[in-house]
Amino acid sequence: MIDRYTRKEMGALWSEQSKFQTWLEVEIAVCEAQVKLGVIPEAALEDIKSKASFDVERIKEIEEEVKHDVIAFLTNVNENVGVSSRFIHLGLTSSDVIDTALAMNMKRAGVMLRRELDVLHDAILGQAKKHKNTVQIGRSHGIHAEPMTFGFKMGVWLEEVRRNQKRLDDAIDNISVGMISGPVGTFSNISPEVERLTCEILGLTPAKISTQIIQRDRHAQFLCTLAIIGSSLEKFATEIRHLQRTDVLEVEEPFVTGQKGSSSMPHKRNPVGSENITGLARLLRSNSLAALENIALWHERDISHSSVERVIIPDSTILLDYMLARFSRIMSGLVVYEKNMARNMDVFGGVVFSQAVMLKLIEKGLSREDSYKLVQTNAMKAWNTDNGSFKDHLMNDPSVTKHLRKEEIASCFDPHEYLKNIDVVFDRLGV
């Protein structure tokens, strides 16, 4: 992943240094397990712990010759350990180390992402509380529908983030498995007890069954979960982009001192952060597709998944980490234009209150069909007339006023009547 979208902590997790360090953690944990079982002497373990180290450049140099990264790693470690190195990697196959270490780093990445998701949750919760009663027009098909509140919109996002928190928890749990079971996973040269003890040391759960690899449906679930979270962020960001349009301008991304929106137009204040989120979500989805393709491997394993995972797993976690942090800043600093929300509510003289008028006519004994026709006729007059007012058309239509007094018509234009039950929803959300 390019530096532009890489934050320090997550980027460091996926560095070559971190990868080999995690491999070493696995190898030493296996040695510790074998000491507990009496397979190797404790003195050898202490020797290994005190001397085991590696140099990334040296590993690369060895790999140029042997064409195998795990062998290159072990060769370099053994150069530093000496005689006791014969107890390192005893009874293991390469994927025991690679897949267990990958699970550890995916778990660590997942924990970082969960932390950022919590920050976003709190930012959205703050907006939901602040704007519980900020009246805004709801839209369907992009067209004005009926009154709602901006806090209600935030509540919808809040609950989606909570679902994503659970999805991520499940994905972290599902990927937090280790495998120390040798070639094809049958424990041919190593005890299942070594696997159990090693995983206990490393904070993982032993895979109930594995082949020469941990099965890739686990990794696919993790990547698909990241893609879903990214798609939620895109959904939120797309809404901000629509609401920030000049002709709407109900909300706006924070625009800091010194920021510029265009090289040619000094007046521009563009939703660049939300547009960035929208674009990066596409990468997460494409990476999740590659993860799904990795599930089907030949027999007990091949390595067609390996090259793919070297790219998609670091890139997806790094991207989502960046996206969550950036969108949390947008939400925390979001500018809400309540006056513009009120202005937009009154387009065409309150056509958005059409259902209330229709229901009032039905109460007076008109059929639904006749009520709908009367209301629609006046709504369309307002819609298609310069400065047309739906309310005025109703007040001046004898077909309406013979059924409804003017004060009854006027009573239909109170947005709070539409919102009288909205607190029930906020109570459900704990807002």
Is the domain of 131 the same as that of 192? yes
Give the CATH number of the domain where residue 387 resides.
1.10.40.30
Tell whether 121 and 230 lie within a shared domain.
Answer: yes
Co-location of 32 and 124 in the same domain: yes
Same structural domain, 29 and 112: yes
Tell me whether residue 41 is in a domain.
yes
Residue 336 φ/ψ, nearest 5 degrees: -115, 120
Is 428 part of a structural domain of the chain? no
Structure tokens at 290: 């590659």
What pLDDT score was predicted for residue 387? 67
Q: Distance from CA of residue 87 to its chain's centroid? A: 43
242 is an active site residue: no
pLDDT of 106 > 80? The answer is yes
Assess whether 56 and 111 both reside in one domain.
Answer: yes
Cβ(136)–Cβ(147) under 8 Å? yes
Would strands 251-252 and 335-336 be described as parallel, antiparallel, or unpaired? antiparallel
Does a structural domain hold residue 287? yes
Say what the pTM is.
0.94
pLDDT > 90? residue 261: no
Range of the domain at 210: 3-342
Residues 316 and 362 in one domain: no
**423 inside domain:** no
Query: Do 391 and 263 sit in the same domain of this protein?
Result: no
- pLDDT single digits (tens) 28-55: 999 999 999 999 999 999 999 999 999 9
The CATH number that applies at residue 158 is 1.20.200.10
- Given 295, 321, 342, the domain boundary residue is 342
Q: Give the model's pLDDT for residue 383.
A: 84
For residues 259 and 318, membership in a common domain is answered with yes
pLDDT confidence of residue 31: 98
Output the CA torsion 238→239→240→241 (10° steps).
50
Please pick, among 140, 141, 264, 267, the residue that the annotation labels catalytic. 141
Q: Do 145 and 25 fall into the same domain?
A: yes
**How many Cβ atoms are within 10 Å of 139's Cβ, its own excluded?**
17
Last-in-domain residue among 321, 342, 363: 342
Catalytic pick from 50, 262, 286, 304? 262
Last residue in a domain, options 287, 311, 342 = 342
Residue 246 lies in a domain: yes
Number of Cα atoms under 13 Å in the Cβ half of residue 246: 4
What's the structural domain count of the chain? 2
Does residue 422 sit within a domain? no
Tokens 């027009």 appear where? 137
Instruction: Answer whether residue 267 is part of any domain.
Output: yes
Q: What band does 256 get if pLDDT is binned at 50, 70 and 90?
A: confident
Residue position matching structure tokens 């008028």:
357
Q: What is the pLDDT of residues 186-243, one digit of tens each?
A: 999 999 999 999 999 999 999 999 999 999 999 999 999 999 999 999 999 999 999 9
Same domain, 206 and 147: yes
Other CB atoms within 10 Å distance of the CB of residue 43? 10
**Taking the alpha carbons of 5, 167, 22, 57 in that order, is the dihedral positive or negative?**
negative
Residues 429, 431: Cα–Cα separation, whole Å: 5
Residue 429 included in any domain: no
> 115 and 254 in one domain?
yes
Do 21 and 110 belong together in one domain?
yes
**50 labelled catalytic:** no
